[in-house]
Structure 1
Amino acid sequence: MRFHTRKWVKPGDLNPNGTLFGGQLLAWIDEEAALYSIIQLENQKTVTKYMSEIDFKSSARQGDIIEIGIEVIKFGSASLTLTCEVRNKMTRQTIIVVDKIVMVSLDEAGNAKPHGKTKVEFVKDRLDLR
């Protein structure tokens, strides 16, 4: 799994128990999945269609650094299915695993738009370096 993003847990990210608020973490996951998918599908109109059940394994506290990993499971005709793992860099524990996140590429009218992609591409491979 590739870990693309790190977040520093700050006071505003905490719940009343003094640990990372789950809603904040899910927002970070959704944003990371969207950014990853937009880059892969080369379409800014890419949205979250589905996120599988979640199961918090551990948490994080103020000052901890977490990292979010995203991996492609499957390319559909208009979708991209991802898996996600978030881990605490300080404790080395997995915080959460989301088995399946489905992102869908849309056209201007908001309908599913086939993207024609079949494999993960890296930005460096798209650049014309002559």
Structure 2
Amino acid sequence: MENSEPAIRITLLPRDTNSQGTIFGGIILSYIDIAGAIEAHRQTRMERFVTVAMREVIFHHPVFVGDLVSFYAETVRIGTTSITVRVTVEAERLTGLGERVRVTEAEVVYVAVDENRRKTPIKLSPEEKAQIENRS
């Protein structure tokens, strides 16, 4: 992920810890959702999305207080009303050695909705859609 720019980068704080002293998984999940939504908005310019699925989130390594955590997002697929975004999470350890570890990844599915919260088509030209999907 070193050649791409993260959708979000944040240092997590003591208030984000669980009873084990590591960062609570729910905090990471909420940032995954936000990072994916940022990517969905960037790619489609749609105003409203709702999260409908977060596929298989497995935490490979813990996140510690003070880690610099980066959330990288890329579009996987765009359907008629939905967009699937892959979010990869990396932590740069506070140790000063620049150690980076992949913490987790997930695919998040969003559905575009209108002002009445009903599904609405994602309006992209065939060229825009092909260009986005060819990058993944």
What is the aligned-residue identity percentage? 28
Amino acid at match of 1:93: V
CA distance in 1: counterparts of 2:122 and 2:57, whole angstroms = 28
Tell me the TM-score normalised to structure 2 length. Answer: 0.80
Tell me whether 1:61 sits opposite 2:64 in the alignment.
yes
Note the aligned Cα RMSD (angstroms).
1.4
Out of 45, 49, 54, the residue aligned to residue 48 of structure 2 is 45
Unaligned 5+ segments in structure 2 are 94-98
Secondary structure of the residue that 2:103 maps to in structure 1?
Answer: strand
Tell me the TM-score normalised to structure 1 length. Answer: 0.84
Q: Extract structure 1 runs of 4+ deviating beyond 3 A.
A: none
Amino acid at match of 2:104: I
Give 1:67-82 correspondences, 5 Å limit: 67-82=70-85
Which residue does 1:95 correspond to in 2? Answer: 103
Secondary structure of the residue that 1:62 maps to in structure 2?
Answer: coil
Secondary structure of the residue that 1:23 maps to in structure 2?
Answer: helix
2:23·2:62 contact (CA, 8 Å) conserved in 1? yes
Unaligned 5+ segments in structure 1 are 121-130
Q: What is the Cα deviation at residue 107 of structure 1? A: 1.4
Which range moved further: 32-41 or 71-80?
32-41
Out of 90, 98, 114, the residue aligned to residue 121 of structure 2 is 114
Which range moved further: 50-59 or 107-116?
107-116
